[in-house]
Amino acid sequence: MKHLVSSLKIMLISLLVLLSTSPVGTVSAGTNIWTSNGPAGGVIFSLAIDPATPATLYAGTFHGVFKSTNGGGSWIAVNNGLTGANVWALVIDPATPTTVYAGSNGNGVFKSTNGGASWNTANTGLGNTSVHTLVINSVTPATLYAGTDGDGVFKSTNGGGNWSPVNTNLTDSIVYSLTIDPTTPSTLYAGTKTGGVFTSTNGGGTWNAIGLDACEVWSLKIDPTMSSTIYAGTRPGGMCTGGVYKSTNSGADWLPVNTDLSNTTVNTLVIDPATPTTLYIGTWGGGVFKSTNGGGNWNAANPALNVVFALVIDPVTPTTLYAGTYGDGVVKSTNGGGNWEVVNTGLFAAHVFSLAIDPQTPTNLYSGTFGGVFKSTDGGGSWNAPSLTATNVTALAIDPTTPTTLYAGENWNIGVLKSTNGGEDWLPANTGLTNTFVQALIIDPSAPATLYAGTDGGGVFKSTNGAGNWSAVNTELTHTHIYALAIDPATPATLYAGTDGGVFKSVNSGGSWSTSGLSTDQVLALAINPVTPTTLYAGTYAGVYKSTNSGGSWGIFGLTTNQVRALAIDPATPTIIYAGTDGNGPFKSKNGGASWIAFNNGLAMAHVYALAIDPATPTMLYAGTWDGVFAIQQVVYPVYLPIIKRSP
């Protein structure tokens, strides 16, 4: 047989196999990896300042710890080993400031010996309890005390190596605050929820009640030059008027010192170490107040801060102080509270519940957070400071015909707010809304003045005049805790409500409701196929359900070990679905939910509470998490295949 080929020439010819031709995304989006540029800020529960190097600070947030080494100029997350921890308390070893302790909500105490670079649990004997407060003995820094949420006080004498309860005669086990006498460290004081203030003179061996038993005592501080003088920050309730109380005899007697203090719900209190008659308090709703005469009278020092959970003072330059806020992140004053500046660069700790994209200008993006509404005009590349602050924005809705009109649903007893200028200004829009704990909002696409609000315990409310007034529409809606709403885009009179008892359906614009085939699970998210509206999906505490007959019947469609908090459907390819889970990041299905793959590069352990797809570029996706807004641009790269060409 003759060789048909006398010579073989191998030529590598580029064959471009394009599986996607998606355009490059906005500045915020990573290519095939989730990335974030904010919003900066968030809820700051705790602050700690390095006593040796005061430019070094730590901030405890909903989701770990951030660190600054330049006085708040910039921040980085320092969460290796601390993933998922809600940090309520921070304390630094004064002798070895690279040793830091973090008290968490439900995970006990963590310890770092390298300035936050890595963390390890320090819970032997303590367990995964919730820790409100941590204090350290400045003379013997291996001795620490932890005040817990229901288990009293624990003590460690070996740097958190192990802990023992020290609760003899401590009749209230919810301990919000602890402080140690700087001159006699065996003496300490505990502020509790219902028992007032307790003292121990033997290092926690035994306790005695010493007053304020009608008050919740959230903060305790001792005058560093006169240890018999103690201040207690309290909250009003029952027989307690709240505000600040002062004792000059080690707690034997207490007197209120609230002259000119217009807000008496005190979260935190600090004393100027150089001038102990100068005090600062952080309040719930009134910002920071200052006294220069030991509590004799008070002056507001920026009430615009609203809710302040934490305060720390620079020990070297006491006119410099930092405030940890509810939603505004960290703010700093260098003149004793006279002026404040936001210092949040890199502090991406905003807890995002909701997202909304401007349908006409998709680079305009809004995020509803545990602290207000932020806006980005460059697709999440940067964010404006929130115009609506100190509120939990759980839902957002944009008028599709007039996108400068938008609505915010809030579950902190405000209800619905409305903006007509792209989020710059907001006004309450609650007339007739008898339940103001709003968890879902949706707009009728065919009649944008018609809105529906889902509430926590009040069912569904409807407005037909742009939130001018509301009426309850709950006939036969037997479950009134509403977590999600969806509207049929082809037949807007058809609505679905995700409740604590499954999915309910209305075919007459909320006039009446009926149960669907899904009635046994709590429904947290709903999504309707925009091309085939008879197909819809429900996210629940036990995965994703799917119906192909308008909710008549449902089948379980995967992710059964996940709480599914958010769902989004690709408008161009509706078989592509995304699911946001509580703790395992986002997932993606390419076949209508038949199977799922983890879609969490960069968000592996994230709590995803909101998802939004760019309507103009559906490969661009946004996720609202406990750590801000993340974006991803999906690109499938070209594949080059070799072709062998034979010549005769």
Q: What is the rounded distance in angstroms from the CA atom of residue 16 to the CA atom of residue 107?
A: 52
Query: What's the pLDDT at 579?
Result: 98
Q: What is the rounded distance in angstroms from the CA atom of residue 426 to the CA atom of residue 407?
A: 9
Asked if pLDDT for residue 395 goes beyond 80, the answer is yes
157 CB burial (10 A radius; 0-12, 13-18, 19+)? middle
Asked if pLDDT for residue 19 goes beyond 50, the answer is no
Among residues 593, 553, 600, the alpha carbon closest in space to that of 574 is found at: 593
Determine the residue type at 218: W
Mean pLDDT value across residues 435-459: 96
Cβ-defined contacts of 173-176 (< 8 Å, 24+): 173/148, 174/132, 174/148, 174/149, 174/150, 175/132, 175/133, 175/147, 175/148, 175/149, 176/132, 176/133, 176/147, 176/216, 176/217, 176/218, 176/219
pLDDT band at 360 (very low <50, low <70, confident <90, very high): very high
Asked if pLDDT for residue 37 goes beyond 80, the answer is yes
Report the percent of the chain where pLDDT is more than 70.
94
Sign of CA dihedral 331, 334, 340, 341: negative
Q: Dihedrals φ, ψ of 552, to 5°?
A: -65, -40
Query: What's the pLDDT at 485?
Result: 98
pLDDT band at 356 (very low <50, low <70, confident <90, very high): very high
Q: What is the rounded distance in angstroms from the CA atom of residue 133 to the CA atom of residue 424?
A: 38
Give a three-class secondary structure readout of 84-101.
Answer: CCCEEEEEECCCCCCCEE
The secondary element (H helix, E strand) that includes residue 110 is strand 109-112
Asked if pLDDT for residue 22 goes beyond 60, the answer is no
pLDDT band at 390 (very low <50, low <70, confident <90, very high): low
pLDDT band at 8 (very low <50, low <70, confident <90, very high): very low
Q: Are 300 and 263 in contact (CB under 8 A)?
A: no
Helix (H, G, I), strand (E, B) or coil at 303: helix
Task: Provide the CB-side half-sphere exposure for 205 (13 A, CA).
Answer: 6
Q: Are strands 536-540 and 208-209 parallel, antiparallel or unpaired?
A: unpaired
Asked if pLDDT for residue 13 goes beyond 90, the answer is no
Query: What's the pLDDT at 606?
Result: 85
Give the tens place of pLDDT for each residue, 158-217.
999 999 999 999 999 999 999 999 999 999 999 999 999 999 999 999 999 999 998 999
Give the tens place of pLDDT for each residue, 580-609.
999 899 999 999 999 999 999 988 778 999
**DSSP code per residue over 265-288:** -EEEEEE-SSSTT-EEEEESSS-E
Task: Provide the CB-side half-sphere exposure for 232 (13 A, CA).
Answer: 38
Q: Dihedrals φ, ψ of 305, to 5°?
A: -65, -25
492 CB burial (10 A radius; 0-12, 13-18, 19+)? middle
Among residues 22, 17, 114, the alpha carbon closest in space to that of 65 is found at: 114
Q: What is the mean pLDDT of the chain?
A: 92
Q: What is the rounded distance in angstroms from the CA atom of residue 262 to the CA atom of residue 260?
A: 6
Two tokens at 352? 């995002």
Exposure letters 407-436 (e unless 16+ CB within 10 A, then b): bbbbbeebbbbbbeebbeebeebbeebebb
Give the tens place of pLDDT for each residue, 466-495.
999 999 999 999 999 999 999 999 999 999
Q: What is the rounded distance in angstroms from the CA atom of residue 271 to the CA atom of residue 411?
A: 35
Q: Dihedrals φ, ψ of 304, to 5°?
A: -65, -15
Q: In this predicted model, which residue has the larger pLDDT, 341 or 19?
A: 341
Helix (H, G, I), strand (E, B) or coil at 130: coil
Mean pLDDT value across residues 452-473: 97
Query: What's the pLDDT at 5?
Result: 36
pLDDT band at 6 (very low <50, low <70, confident <90, very high): very low
Strand ranges, E, within 205-336 = 208-209, 216-222, 230-235, 243-247, 255-256, 266-271, 279-283, 288-291, 299-300, 308-313, 321-327, 330-333
Query: What's the pLDDT at 30?
Result: 79
Give the tens place of pLDDT for each residue, 252-285.
999 999 999 988 999 999 999 999 999 999 999 8
User: CA angle, corner 618, sides to 612 and 622, nearest 5?
Assistant: 30
Among residues 40, 612, 628, the alpha carbon closest in space to that of 363 is found at: 612
Asked if pLDDT for residue 14 goes beyond 60, the answer is no
Please state which of the ranges 7-11, 229-233, 524-528 shows the lowest mean pLDDT.
7-11
> Looking at residue 579, what DSSP letter applies?
E
Query: What's the pLDDT at 412?
Result: 79
What is the end-to-end Cα distance of the chain in Å, rounded? 14
Beta-carbon neighbour count of residue 9 at 10 Å? 9
591 CB burial (10 A radius; 0-12, 13-18, 19+)? exposed
Give the tens place of pLDDT for each residue, 80-102.
998 767 899 999 999 999 999 99
Query: What's the pLDDT at 519?
Result: 85
Sign of CA dihedral 89, 251, 295, 390: positive
The domain spans of the chain are 40-342
Q: What is the rounded distance in angstroms from the CA atom of residue 529 to the CA atom of residue 536?
A: 6
Asked if pLDDT for residue 1 goes beyond 70, the answer is no
Strand ranges, E, within 479-554 = 482-487, 495-499, 502-506, 514-515, 523-528, 536-540, 543-547
Query: What's the pLDDT at 7?
Result: 38
pLDDT band at 640 (very low <50, low <70, confident <90, very high): low
Query: What's the pLDDT at 202?
Result: 97
Q: Are 231 and 221 in contact (CB under 8 A)?
A: yes
- Beta-carbon contacts of 3 under 8 Å, excluding residues fewer than 6 positions away, are none
Top CATH class, 40-342: mainly beta
- Beta-carbon contacts of 42 under 8 Å, excluding residues fewer than 6 positions away, are 61, 62, 327, 329, 347, 348, 349, 350, 351, 369, 370, 371, 628
What residues pair up with 209 in beta bridges, in sequence order?
198
What residues pair up with 42 in beta bridges, in sequence order?
328, 349
Give the tens place of pLDDT for each residue, 45-94.
999 999 999 999 999 998 899 999 999 999 999 999 987 678 999 999 99
